[in-house]
Amino acid sequence: MKLLENSPNTSLILSVPQELRDLEAHEREKREALLAKIKHSGVDLKTIPKEELDVGDGEVIRAYNYWLRYLERTKERNFERHEQLVDLHTRIKDWRSKTALSLKVAPANIMSEHLVSQIAYASATATGVIDQKILHDAGVRVVTNLAKVIEKWNDETGNNENRLTNLNEDCSSIALKQSIFSPIKPWQHAIYKPVKKTGLASWESSYLRFMKGENPHSIAMSPTNGRPIQVATVVNHIFQALTHGKTVDLGRLFEVVKPPNKHEWECLVRCESETDIDVLNSEVMFNTGCFLSLFSMLTFVLFPPTRCC
């Protein structure tokens, strides 16, 4: 400060701390490793926007990275499932190529390359049927027969077993008196934490899009921040909106995720008793981020036991 005060026209250059140099080198290595992994998967890096290549992040890079990480984790646990996922990705790409050829346009005009990975990721983790409207909302410009391609893969791989199915009379689910539900008040331990960049909570974008009519599947395929997520994450975001006292269209939500049936309800009651946790008033379950506890709390709030068949 003395130097600048006495010599205002003097330039003062400070050395960069070694810690900062090491951090920059580490970030550079991470970026180069990520781009190398994406390139090794067969992606032409020239198709990725330059601004994303410079920082190693962005909507396109995230789409590839999340899909590749999902494949890696699956391969470690279940190689057969990994091969099924690769096959799903290949089928979607083949459909895109055939459709582009029939319409005499470039494949990218049908669907961008990174969107192939996003749709494969969302389809593999979906809990409901992927229809043409969902695909169109996700950004696919021509959707003819793509839903059938995904459905056929579901049938052949047994993926339908993990999706929403009709419940029989012995395992009947809770019936809603009305589709739209508005909580009386927010849960007392719900804390609203907006993100500085958007001014919204992390769950809020999914909730707002859902209430405007979008399907959780299309939201998962084209999230606002460009970071691919699973349908279950979108559903969890909507559940979080309930804890903050937000109105939710449960009728539409239960088209994607089934409400608890009698047996599941009894399990929730037993868990509450065994853990000695008051799901309505305990702050423990929220701090631990336990989805089961959150779901348990919501079912107690929304569906008193007398309404469970």
* Segment 166-199, tens digit of pLDDT: 433 344 455 666 788 888 888 877 888 888 888 8
With a cut of 90, say whether residue 99 has pLDDT above it.
yes
- 190/300 same-domain check: yes
Tell whether 13 is covered by a domain: no
Count of structural domains, the chain: 2
pTM: 0.60
Residue 95 tokens, joined: 């459909």
* Geometric angle at alpha carbon 38, from 36 and 40, rounded to 5°: 65
Backbone angles phi, psi at 137, to 5 degrees: -65, -30
- 272/205 same-domain check: yes
Q: Which domain holds residue 146?
A: 27-163
**In one letter, which amino acid is 5?**
E
pLDDT band at 263 (very low <50, low <70, confident <90, very high): low
CB-based contacts of 232, cutoff 8 Å, min separation 6: 125, 127, 257
**In one letter, which amino acid is 48?**
I
Whether the Cβ atoms of residue 252 and residue 176 lie closer than 8 Å to each other: no
- pLDDT at position 146 is 93
- 174/225 same-domain check: yes
- 149/174 same-domain check: no
Whether the Cβ atoms of residue 125 and residue 98 lie closer than 8 Å to each other: no
Whether the Cβ atoms of residue 136 and residue 221 lie closer than 8 Å to each other: no
- 156/173 same-domain check: no
- pLDDT at position 304 is 42
Question: From CA 73, how far away is CA 219, in angstroms rounded?
Answer: 23
| Higher-scoring residue by pLDDT: 33, 293 | 33
Tell whether 3 is covered by a domain: no
Tell whether 290 is covered by a domain: yes
Tell whether 5 is covered by a domain: no
Most confident of 8-12, 16-20, 158-162: 16-20
Domain boundary residue, one of 147, 163, 179:
163
Tell whether 12 is covered by a domain: no
39-61: average pLDDT: 91
- 91/175 same-domain check: no
Tell whether 20 is covered by a domain: no
- 152/35 same-domain check: yes
- 279/188 same-domain check: yes
Domain boundary residue, one of 163, 185, 208:
163
